[in-house]
Structure 1
Amino acid sequence: MDWSLRACGRHGHVTYAPDEEALRSRLRAETALGEAWRCLRCGDFTVGPPRGAGPAGAAPVVLRGRALRDAAVLRLIAVFRWAKVVLLIAGAYGVWRFRVHHDAVRRAFDQDLPLVQPLAHKLGWHLDQSGVVHTLRTALTARTTTLTWIFLALLALAALLLTEGIGLWLLRRWGEYFSVIVTSVFIPVEIYEIAEKVSPFRIVILVINIAAVLYIALSKRLFGLRGGRAAYESERHEASLLEVEQAGLTMARRDHGPTRPTGHP
């Protein structure tokens, strides 16, 4: 997939007219339909006036190629985090509602469970040994204070994941650091849960989180990896079409020597 063309198809071309005449001439062309400017993202010429103008140093650094693919992956991770936020908020709401009606629910459970016993025996289901029933009894015996702390913990975790998703969606570097740190903190907990009870779902979630941490840390050169921030910024600018054109212009001047000024005796 050509990520640059895909982005231009969705958001339009990014054209820019630098003030430097030599560089300007490399990005501009005359056609039968009028002037055309080279897109800084996909490299194609598009007819019409440029969308921006000014010094070359002020030109936008447009994501191209691999950088666009990385952005799509980060935003996919952000959507995954927001899906977990929705589940956590739903869980927090359920805990809060249960906290409010805690005593009534416990009384109903104690009164109705014996009524289910005969049917459960016929089905070969031993309620006393059921993990579901044991979990329900544990929850029903929890104190109101404990339920309040669980409610607050779920909201705090939802806030963390919401912040992480926002940072990743906006492609902010602090969001990438935040994501790696938060996700890494919960990996030991997930490993412990798998050690307690192995399930395909838990294994898949663990693999996804480990892959996300490694991908973000390595591709974005976090914590000094692969040259750190300096190498990351250099890679971004090297991928910029305007930077490529400037480098080509510099090499051309170096090969042909300095241009002698004209118009003076």
Structure 2
Amino acid sequence: MSTDWDRRHCARKGHVTYAPDEPGLRGKLTASTAVGPVWRCLRCGDFVLGEPHGGGPADLAPLVPRGRALRDLFILRFLAVERVLRGLLIVLAAWAVWKFSNSQDAVHQLFENDLTAFRPVADHFHYDLDHSPVVDTIRKTFDYKKSTLQAAAGGLLLYALIEIVEGFGLWWAKRWAEYLTVVATAAFLPIEVYELTEKVSWFKIATLALNVLAVLYILLGKRLFGLRGGRAAFEAERRGASLLEVEQSAGERPGEERPAGGQQPKEPLPVRRRSPADTV
């Protein structure tokens, strides 16, 4: 059973109705009932009792995401949440590295003292602490210069800010955020592949797969960099999904008989000039 994303979204967020100034089009989106006028929702197509939420020229009507556009928005917001959460975790990592750089000697001394206290237990279980990969890795960090650690903290913080900016931009379906996400994510893919060659883990594999899918989805689905017709084709596709424009192009209500000969009404219909990103 397929999910009706339009009605599901309207059930959560409410309907969106609009009264266009053009009489012919206005008549297609409203009807009179015994309990008052009803207006057709621009998203799900159901007639809603009450006054419209807005009105004016048809080309200034809100472009409401519906159908595939609504599913795309759901996926973008899933990616947005993932980006923001990742960014916050990286901020914590940057803070930890910066904190460590300012107390490196004290932490080093504490580590060696604890290691000395733990050595009898390790010897009892025949574990060689002096040649342990984990201990060697930790000790190497104590050899880093303070300036190097602070530069690493700054780099992590910059990376975190990029992730958070991506997240907020994707949440609001901004096209610049889609470009930023594709470029930034693709730039770090070689690093993720290199990390897998060093040590394989299911978490690294899942992260790499998610990033590759995100790049391909946004790149192709949003027609970035001129792919599949570019922005013009993308906006035409989204405009075609608008119920108001479906009514305009059809020239009739669903179920309404077409005039003899299939002729459309002679009244000229306006052409939308708004971007799909104007209304989320």
Normalised by the size of structure 2, how large is the TM-score? Answer: 0.88
Instruction: Considering fraction of residues, name the structure with more helix.
Output: 1
Question: Separation in 1 of the partners of 2:266 and 2:42?
Answer: 27
Q: Secondary structure at the match of 1:198?
A: coil
Go from structure 1 to structure 2 and tell me whether the alpha carbon gap of 1:258 and 1:196 turns closer, same or farther (over 3 Å shift).
Answer: closer
Question: Separation in 2 of the partners of 1:11 and 1:86?
Answer: 28
Instruction: Map 1:56-71; keep pairs closer than 5 Å.
Output: 56-71=58-73
2:160 — aligned with what?
A: 158
**Residue by residue, what CA displacement relative to the aligned partner does 1:109-143 show, whole Å, maximum 9, x if unpaired?**
23332222221122332212322111110111111
1:255 — aligned with what?
A: 262
1:227 — aligned with what?
A: 229
Go from structure 1 to structure 2 and tell me whether the alpha carbon gap of 1:122 and 1:258 turns closer, same or farther (over 3 Å shift).
Answer: closer
Question: Separation in 1 of the partners of 2:218 and 2:264?
Answer: 44
1:89 — aligned with what?
A: 91
Go from structure 1 to structure 2 and tell me whether the alpha carbon gap of 1:259 and 1:82 turns closer, same or farther (over 3 Å shift).
Answer: closer
Q: Which residue type is aligned with residue 213 of structure 1?
A: V
Are 2:10 and 1:2 aligned? Answer: no
User: Of 176, 179, 190, which residue of structure 1 is paired with 2:178?
Assistant: 176
Residue 152 (structure 1) shift:
0.4
Instruction: Map 1:230-241; keep pairs closer than 5 Å.
Output: 230-241=232-243
* Contact in 1 for aligned 2:94/2:157 (Cα 8 Å): yes
Q: Which residue type is aligned with residue 255 of structure 1?
A: G
Are 2:85 and 1:78 aligned? Answer: no
2:47 — aligned with what?
A: 45
2:131 — aligned with what?
A: 129
Q: Secondary structure at the match of 1:30?
A: strand
* Contact in 1 for aligned 2:251/2:265 (Cα 8 Å): no
Range that drifts further, 95-104 or 41-50? 95-104
Q: Which residue type is aligned with residue 76 of structure 1?
A: F
2:27 — aligned with what?
A: 25
**Residue by residue, what CA displacement relative to the aligned partner does 1:167-209 show, whole Å, maximum 9, x if unpaired?**
1011000011110110000000001111122222111111110
Query: 5+ unaligned residues in a row in structure 2: which ranges?
Result: 268-280
Question: Separation in 2 of the partners of 1:256 and 1:234?
Answer: 24
Question: Separation in 1 of the partners of 2:106 and 2:31?
Answer: 78
1:120 — aligned with what?
A: 122
Range that drifts further, 4-13 or 157-166? 4-13
Question: Separation in 2 of the partners of 1:183 and 1:19?
Answer: 45
* Contact in 1 for aligned 2:119/2:129 (Cα 8 Å): yes
CA RMSD of aligned residues (A): 1.8
Query: 5+ unaligned residues in a row in structure 1: which ranges?
Result: 261-265
* Contact in 1 for aligned 2:39/2:48 (Cα 8 Å): yes
Range that drifts further, 243-252 or 178-187? 243-252
Are 2:13 and 1:11 aligned? Answer: yes
Question: Separation in 1 of the partners of 2:211 and 2:33?
Answer: 51
**Residue by residue, what CA displacement relative to the aligned partner does 1:235-261 show, whole Å, maximum 9, x if unpaired?**
00100001110011189578347669x
Compare relative contact order (CA 8 Å, sep 6+) and give the higher one, 1 or 2. 2
Instruction: Map 1:206-221; keep pairs closer than 5 Å.
Output: 206-221=208-223
User: Of 232, 246, 249, which residue of structure 1 is paired with 2:248?
Assistant: 246
Question: Separation in 2 of the partners of 1:229 and 1:153?
Answer: 33
Question: Separation in 2 of the partners of 1:83 and 1:126?
Answer: 38
The size of the alignment, in residue pairs, is 260
2:112 — aligned with what?
A: 110
Q: Secondary structure at the match of 1:51?
A: coil
User: Of 53, 56, 59, which residue of structure 2 is paired with 1:54?
Assistant: 56
